[in-house]
């Protein structure tokens, strides 16, 4: 049996936390041979609810679950953390944009970035789920100057999964038939689900599905899916978000299969004209825990305009949080 790794999860008593923790503990994320130590963070008023979640985790008797520690102190919760899920933050309600949350949620990520900087393990890797996740990841990254910037990522895997599901449904296939479905930019209304390079069992989907459906129905359904779920459920997506967070960290940990792409929002190094430092979703491959942006993708004028729009949206969000960065 391997030595346990330490996995920290914030917002652990929330909706996503409830769906996420049991899958981490069961080995769905880091492997069926990888024991985990859970370190869970909540705000003080939610510690009682978190104790209930811990009882349930214990009652599931997961063989890989080495230990569980809970705290309302970020320094304690990130102590020795190898893998971090930053979920804890307010979700939007009906009629709100994700970017409306930036002034409420942004400050959470200055403190948690510092706490990761000061307490996490040297190999720490973090995914931000709490919205607006790209800009919150930017805040956390800037607040953790001793941690290599590329260790901070944000989650666009849910958008990728939604896009795959829409294409598979349209083609009467299952999700496993769809490949190379890259998401570019922000987990926000401007995201670009690049169907031009997506494939179904190796055939470009543009050869199988009409251009109008892809350009209009597909793009709009994927980018507005979060809002559609809030309108239907009265609460934002939780189980699918937790599943996507598992997918994101599992792929970062285990790697992509040959020929496979995934989407991760990562600090840009200027790839494809995206300004350096923006936490921007690109198609990537992953080997030995290191991601690499897929090179040489050609964009039509339409795709280029979409990418510029999402650059502009993210640059605006970054501008709006400059005062939070010291
Ligand atoms: P929730 O309200 O059910 O749970 C959030 C939890 O975070 C609560 O238990 C709350 O007490 C806790 N929390 C708040 N501030 C905290 C802090 N400073 N430290 C630690 N914990 C804190 O919300 P949820 O449905 O679990 O959603 C959480 C976040 O994830 C929201 O911002 C939501 O918009 C976002 N989200 C992102 C995606 C994505 O694709 N990136 C998808 C779904 C939801
Ligand atoms: C989602 O895409 O489901 C989440 O970001 C929640 C939201 O506010 O849309």
CA angle 302/308/310 to nearest 5° reads: 110
Kindly report the number of other CB atoms within 10 A of residue 65's CB atom: 21
Which of 8-17, 38-47, 317-326 is predicted with the least confidence, judged by mean pLDDT?
317-326
Mean pLDDT of 145-165: 98
Checking if the pLDDT of 326 tops 70, the result is no
pLDDT, mean over the chain:
97
> 3.40.50.720, 3.90.1010.10, 3.90.1200.10, 3.40.50.300: which CATH number matches 5-154?
3.40.50.720
Q: Is 304 exposed, middle or buried (0-12, 13-18, 19+ CB in 10 A)?
A: middle
Return d(Cα 158, Cα 135) in angstroms, integer: 17
Return d(Cα 284, Cα 183) in angstroms, integer: 10
pLDDT at 240: 98
Atom of ligand 1 nearest to the CA of 244: 40
Fold match, 5-154 / 157-318: no
Residue 322 CA to ligand 2 centre (angstroms): 24
Ligand nearest to the CA of 9: 1
Residue-wise pLDDT tens digits, 222-254: 999 999 999 999 999 999 999 999 999 999 999
Residue-wise pLDDT tens digits, 103-129: 999 999 999 999 999 999 999 999 999
CATH 3.40.50.2300 fits 157-318, yes or no: no
Q: Is 4 exposed, middle or buried (0-12, 13-18, 19+ CB in 10 A)?
A: middle
pLDDT-based confidence at residue 1 (cuts at 50, 70, 90) = confident
Residue 129 CA to ligand 1 centre (angstroms): 8
Mean pLDDT of 78-91: 98
Of 95 and 248, the structure prediction assigns the larger pLDDT to 248
Which of 1-5, 47-51, 63-67 is predicted with the least confidence, judged by mean pLDDT?
1-5
Token pair, residue 1, equals 């049996």
Return d(Cα 251, Cα 285) in angstroms, integer: 9
In the sheet that 36-41 helps form, which strands lie side by side, from edge to edge? 65-71, 36-41, 5-10, 83-86, 125-128, 152-154, 262-267, 279-287, 290-293
- Contact in structure between 291 and 281 (CB atoms under 8 Å): no
Test site for ligand 2: of 99, 131, 161, most ligand atoms within 8 A of the Cβ: 131
Q: Residue whose CA is closest, atom 1 of ligand 1? A: 14
pLDDT-based confidence at residue 71 (cuts at 50, 70, 90) = very high
Atom of ligand 1 nearest to the CA of 98: 34
Question: Which residues have any ligand 1 atom within 6 Å of their CB?
Answer: 10-11, 13-17, 41-43, 46, 87-92, 108, 129-131, 133, 155, 158, 187, 236-238, 241
Residue of 66, 187, 197, 248 marked catalytic? 187
Residue 253 CA to ligand 1 centre (angstroms): 23
Mean pLDDT of 163-176: 98
Question: Residue 258 in 3-state DSSP?
Answer: coil
Residue 34: phi, psi to the nearest 5?
Answer: -115, 100
CA-only gyration radius of the chain, Å: 19
Please report, for the chain, the start and end positions of each structural domain, with discontinuous segments joined by +.
5-154, 157-318
Atom of ligand 2 nearest to the CA of 92: 8
Checking if the pLDDT of 77 tops 70, the result is yes
Is residue 187 part of the annotated active site? The answer reads yes
pLDDT at 99: 87
Atom of ligand 2 nearest to the CA of 187: 5
């Amino acid at each position: 049996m391997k030595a346990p790794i330490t996995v920290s999860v914030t917002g652990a008593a929330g909706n996503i936390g409830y769906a996420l923790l049991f899958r981490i503990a069961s080995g769905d994320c880091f492997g069926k041979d990888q024991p985990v130590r859970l370190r869970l963070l909540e705000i003080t008023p939610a510690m009682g609810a978190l104790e209930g979640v811990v009882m349930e985790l214990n009652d599931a008797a997961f063989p890989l679950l080495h230990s569980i520690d809970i705290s309302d102190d970020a320094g304690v919760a990130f102590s020795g953390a190898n893998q971090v899920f930053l979920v804890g933050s307010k979700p939007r309600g009906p009629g709100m944009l994700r970017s409306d949350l930036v002034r409420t949620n942004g400050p959470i990520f200055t403190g948690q970035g510092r706490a990761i900087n000061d307490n996490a393990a040297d190999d720490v890797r973090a995914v931000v789920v709490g919205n607006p996740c790209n800009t919150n990841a930017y805040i956390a990254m800037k607040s953790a100057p001793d941690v290599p910037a590329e260790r901070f990522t944000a989650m666009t895997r849910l958008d990728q999964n939604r896009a795959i599901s829409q294409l598979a449904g349209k083609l009467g296939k299952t999700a496993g038939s769809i490949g190379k479905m890259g998401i570019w930019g922000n987990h926000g209304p401007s995201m670009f689900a690049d169907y031009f390079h997506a494939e179904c069992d190796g055939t470009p989907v543009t050869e199988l599905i009409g251009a109008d459906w892809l350009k209009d129905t597909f793009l709009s359904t994927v980018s507005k899916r979060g809002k559609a779920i809030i309108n239907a459920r009265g609460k934002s997506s939780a189980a699918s978000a937790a599943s996507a967070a598992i997918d994101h960290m599992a792929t970062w940990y285990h790697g992509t299969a040959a020929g496979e792409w995934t989407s991760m929002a990562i600090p840009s190094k200027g790839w494809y004209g995206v300004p350096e430092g923006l936490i921007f979703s690109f198609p990537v491959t992953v080997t030995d825990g290191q991601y690499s942006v897929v090179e040489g993708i050609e964009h039509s004028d339409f795709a280029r305009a979409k990418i510029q729009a999402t650059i502009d949206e993210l640059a605006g969000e970054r501008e709006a949080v400059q005062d939070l960065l010291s």
